[in-house]
């Protein structure tokens, strides 16, 4: 798949930066496409050539992160905690964006989208995930809460440490479910 041209990449970068700034200022639910375009100094036509709406903008950002994680996951022979470290590394790189989207001024829609994607992934990756989806749902909530805690506390530990700690907690849930199930 070819990379978008320089103008498209520049437009997307400017819109993503504007998105973060506006979420931090006003909250996700209160921003409009017009405000995004004005802050990014791009036309509405340029916005709509790249995205359907502000939700599509956020979904594309998240989908890129998940595609990266799944590609690494498919090629990896490492333990799940080590693979999750790559995802946390992505979040670290874009910490302002994820902090804005998951924080107080963010949108519950985005946190739910993240939980759903992680639950789907964990249901296929973790042995012992039950058929009724409770364990994957709990695991995905733990991942999202771990990320939120990490961002809220100004990333007090490296991504690998957060991933390892979260993996231990997830392992305990799976073990408890396996023993009781």
Q: Model-level pTM?
A: 0.78
Q: Which phi and psi angles does 35 have, rounded to 5°?
A: -65, -40
Show Cβ contacts of residue 115 under 8 Å, excluding neighbours closer than 6 positions: 137, 140, 141, 143, 144
- Predicted confidence at residue 84, as pLDDT, reads 79
Residue 106, classed as helix, strand or coil, is coil
Q: How many CB atoms lie within 10 A of CB 75?
A: 9
Question: Is the Cβ–Cβ distance between 90 and 65 less than 8 Å?
Answer: yes
- Predicted confidence at residue 87, as pLDDT, reads 82
Burial zone of 145 (CB within 10 Å; 0-12 exposed, 13-18 middle, 19+ buried):
middle
**pLDDT under 70: residue ranges of the chain:** 1-3, 72-82, 125-132, 180-181
**Domains defined for the chain, CATH in brackets:** 54-180 (1.10.357)
- Predicted confidence at residue 126, as pLDDT, reads 60
- Predicted confidence at residue 75, as pLDDT, reads 66
Distance CA 125, CA 129 (A): 8
Q: And the tokens for 116?
A: 């759903």
- Predicted confidence at residue 50, as pLDDT, reads 94
Quickly tell me which residue has 């790249």 as its tokens: 50
């Amino acid at each position: 798949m070819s990379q978008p041209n320089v103008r498209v990449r520049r437009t997307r970068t400017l819109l993503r930066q504007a998105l973060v700034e506006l979420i931090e200022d006003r909250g996700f639910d209160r921003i409009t496409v017009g405000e995004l375009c004005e802050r990014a100094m791009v036309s509405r036509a340029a916005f709509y050539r790249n995205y359907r709406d502000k939700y599509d903008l956020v979904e594309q950002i998240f989908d890129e992160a998940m595609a990266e994680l799944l590609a690494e996951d498919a090629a990896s022979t490492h333990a799940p905690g080590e693979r999750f470290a790559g995802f946390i590394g992505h979040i670290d790189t874009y910490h302002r964006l994820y902090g804005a989207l998951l924080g107080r001024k963010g949108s519950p829609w985005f946190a739910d989208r993240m939980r759903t994607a992680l639950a789907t992934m964990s249901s296929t990756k973790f042995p012992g995930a039950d058929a009724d989806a409770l364990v994957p749902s709990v695991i995905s909530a733990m991942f999202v809460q771990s990320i939120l805690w990490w961002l809220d506390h100004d990333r007090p530990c490296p991504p690998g440490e957060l991933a390892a700690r979260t993996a231990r907690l997830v392992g305990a849930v799976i073990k408890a479910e396996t023993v009781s199930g």
